[in-house]
């Protein structure tokens, strides 16, 4: 069984130096006019603003996009994460 690394609760923003906190934010993934909501993990600033995504954070978006493509275009929905 592969060991999963534990991510720290905070990190400095590479752009501003502001402290970013580990959390989850909702995003919409859209493909050819169809959308689905996704809870995207990452490091986020207080309030709004862009986050930083590390490790497997983007797997949630990748999975949602694959499912939308399968619904719209057909296909097998193979996993990459």
Could you give the CA distance from residue 38 to residue 60 in angstroms, rounded to a whole number? 7
pLDDT for position 81: 74
Average pLDDT for runs of 10 along the chain of length 81? 78 94 96 96 92 94 94 73 74
* pTM of the predicted model as reported, rounded to 2 decimal places: 0.80
The reported pLDDT for the residue numbered 74 is 82
Residue 28 and residue 68 in contact, taking contact as beta carbons nearer than 8 Å: no
What pLDDT, on the 0 to 100 scale, is given for residue 78? 62
**pLDDT given for residue 77 in this prediction:** 56
Longest dimension (CA), the chain: 44
CA distance 70 to 62: 12
Q: Which residues contact 4 (CB under 8 A, 6 or more apart)?
A: none
Strands, E assignment, the chain: 10-12, 19-31, 34-44
């Amino acid at each position: 069984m592969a060991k999963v690394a534990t991510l720290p609760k905070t990190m400095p923003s590479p752009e501003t130096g502001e402290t970013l906190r580990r959390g989850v934010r909702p995003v919409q993934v859209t493909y050819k006019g169809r959308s689905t909501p996704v809870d995207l993990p990452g490091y986020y600033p207080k309030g709004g603003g862009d986050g930083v995504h590390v490790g497997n954070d983007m797997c949630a978006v990748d999975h949602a996009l694959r499912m939308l493509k399968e619904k719209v275009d057909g296909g097998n929905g193979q996993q990459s994460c």
